[in-house]
A and B are shown apart, each in its own frame.
Chain A
């Protein structure tokens, strides 16, 4: 009688060991969520591409003057001042501005499921760097990349009106960045920073 009891335990042991193994796999799958956004060699490559592409957008926009046009796309007439067409806020929240830099951003990044924030850093007369947000699409995720480009603004530059034509001279209007330079040619040095992340 004792012998037959002992015999049954062997099958049980096999089944129980198997269940333990499967449970271990199940547990491992549950605690580590492997998604397409998880870090790996290939996702690192995608982040590198995103960064390099974004730098290219800034380079080509700076070359054609589109970047400067967007910095100066400011409605000084509005109460407290805001970017043209930004609605009630100072900066854009739904999509990029209606300039060629904005169009290029949305064609290259927006169409590839990438969200991005755009900031404009400038200097004040006291050599302090301050930031004006241009576009906000949310809080960047942990794998966001950042790229930036500097643009020199001159006293003789003009604001850009909503239809793209030339507005008043910078030193004659209420602009969001002050004239940080003491000489009468350079106005300020702006750095446009784009933070982009996949969604």
Chain B
């Protein structure tokens, strides 16, 4: 009769160990949606948006009000940066000066619409201004690689800035 004890012991211990293993794999998963995989990304996105909206594209004396000339030049890739703007480099990535392991997309849009362009002649009176219908001559107010599909974790920083006396949304995507 004493021989049964070993078998009982094995069953008891294996049930217990299975549950312990289950617990240790299950508990960290509960908090996973609230975990940021790369801790520095929110800070980088936030600092980038702040720098752009208060210093690089705007006059530091009047934060949030973008300088029209420097803003358009910032998104115009492939040409040298103007000397009187506070950025250097030929592409938006160079001008942002973020680590090469991060990808950053910067986009200006209206709060209810899609991409914005800077065009030399807007529809009603032919003045230079912002437009939502873009053609080849216009400067698309977005820079950096295209935003990734939904499967990747991205961090977004959002600012409302004033450009050409109009409130527009500046979004910085980082992944």
Query: Are A and B part of the same complex?
Result: yes
Which residues of A line the B interface, CB within 8 A?
1, 3-4, 6-15, 17-18, 21-22, 25, 29, 34, 38, 40-45, 48-49, 52-57, 59-61, 63-64, 104, 107-108, 111
CB of B46 to closest CB in A, whole Å:
6
Q: With A and B bound together, what is the CA distance between A25 and B112 in angstroms? A: 45
Q: Contact check: which of B4, B7, B18, B156 meets A49 at CB < 8 Å?
A: B156
Q: Contact check: which of A10, A29, A43, A49 meets B12 at CB < 8 Å?
A: A10
Question: Considering only CB atoms, which chain A residue lies closest to B12 in the complex?
Answer: A14
Within 8 A of A (CB), among B152-170: 155-162, 165-167, 169
- 10 A-B pairs within 8 Å (CB atoms) are namely A9-B8, A38-B34, A40-B35, A52-B49, A53-B158, A55-B64, A56-B162, A59-B63, A60-B160, A108-B111
Q: With A and B bound together, what is the CA distance between A192 and B36 in angstroms? A: 35
B15 touches A18 (CB 8 A): yes
B63 touches A10 (CB 8 A): no
A49 touches B5 (CB 8 A): no
Instruction: Give the contact-size bracket for chain B.
Output: 35 or more
Question: Considering only CB atoms, which chain B residue lies closest to A15 in the complex?
Answer: B15
Which residues of B line the A interface, CB within 8 A?
1-2, 4-5, 7-9, 11-16, 18-20, 23, 26-27, 30-31, 34-36, 39, 42, 46, 49-50, 53, 62-65, 111-112, 155-162, 165-167, 169
B158 touches A49 (CB 8 A): yes
What chain B residues lie within 8 Å of A15 (beta carbons)?
12, 15
Q: With A and B bound together, what is the CA distance between A18 and B17 in angstroms? A: 8
A56 touches B16 (CB 8 A): no
